[in-house]
Amino acid sequence: MDLKDYNIDMKKIPKHVAIIMDGNGRWAKKRLMPRTAGHKVGVERVRDIIKAVDKLNIKYLTLYAFSTENWKRPSDEVGVLMQLLANYLKKEIDELDRKNVRIRVLGELDRIPKKVREEIEKAIIRTKDNDNIVLNIALNYGSRLEIIRAVKNIVEDCSNEKLDIERLDEEKFKEYLYTEDQPDPDLMIRTSGEQRLSNFLLYQLAYSEFIFTETAWPDFTEDEFFKAIELYQNRNRRFGDIK
């Protein structure tokens, strides 16, 4: 199927799409494979979705790759996830750069293994001036911690007189989040049937449309993504208004 086979209005494309890539483990288990096999196939879907985002001219894509809670998983699985991310960046960085993708990380890199961290830092620096797509990788990310971090920085800036508390409003507060100057997601997709936010972008998703699909992330192809965009375009976004 080609983009023209879908009922997508190119004038109503969401600016920012955020995705909770869930279900890798269950997908693998169903096939009697180790959970990590699901993560490996999941990386292929990351590749597909970035291509689809490029075709649709979506400007911001946020992928939930690893939460602050994911450290509780067995260390082998954590190790594989970190390795997959490093390999992905090593292998794909030329292509991402060619597509004019800017890589950013939402989360704290301090706990990320050194080799992986170096790969990420290299990718961030190399792509810092790219301006076609922003790819946010939420890594060691937790939304409550993000908000607490923002509050701490605000208090510090107030005490250094860099910020006047009277000037703190929603727009100003946003600048203290990892997403800083980026627009809020218009659409949040979670794969694999769970209907919850799992500490993902709690502030930024206030007015976003949510799509929950039964499809597990390793099966979430370009076709599934385009269908999600069709669904999104049929929603009526009012932002509290009545029209």
If one asks whether residue 53 binds ligand FPP (CB under 6 A), the answer comes out as no
Q: 42 or 154, CB closer to ligand FPP?
A: 42
Rounded Cα gap, residues 91 and 87, in angstroms: 6
17, 19, 37, 43: residue in contact with ligand FPP (rule CB under 6 A): 43
**For the window 126-165, what string marks contact with ligand FPP as x by the rule CB under 6 A?**
-----------x----------------------------
Binding residue count for ligand FPP, defined by CB under 6 A? 18
Q: What is the distance of C-alpha 72 from the center of its chain?
A: 21
Name the one range near ligand FPP by CB under 6 A: 4-12, 38-46, 219-227, 229-237.
38-46
* 97 C-beta neighbours (distance < 10 Å), count: 15
Q: Is 22 a catalytic residue?
A: yes
Rounded Cα gap, residues 10 and 96, in angstroms: 23
Q: Residue 194: how many CA atoms within 13 Å on its side-chain side?
A: 13
14, 17, 18, 25: residue in contact with ligand FPP (rule CB under 6 A): 25
Residue 192 region by backbone torsions, left for phi larger than 0, else alpha for psi between -120 and 50, else beta: left
49, 84, 101, 116: residue in contact with ligand FPP (rule CB under 6 A): 84
8, 19, 46, 61: residue in contact with ligand FPP (rule CB under 6 A): 46
If one asks whether residue 51 binds ligand FPP (CB under 6 A), the answer comes out as no
If one asks whether residue 112 binds ligand FPP (CB under 6 A), the answer comes out as no
Rounded Cα gap, residues 226 and 229, in angstroms: 5
Q: Residue 240: how many CA atoms within 13 Å on its side-chain side?
A: 2
If one asks whether residue 221 binds ligand FPP (CB under 6 A), the answer comes out as no
Beta bridge partners of 19: 63, 189
Q: 37 or 137, CB closer to ligand FPP?
A: 137
If one asks whether residue 99 binds ligand FPP (CB under 6 A), the answer comes out as no
In the complex, which residues of this chain contact ligand FPP (CB under 6 A)?
21-26, 39, 42-43, 46, 63, 65, 70, 81, 84-85, 88, 137
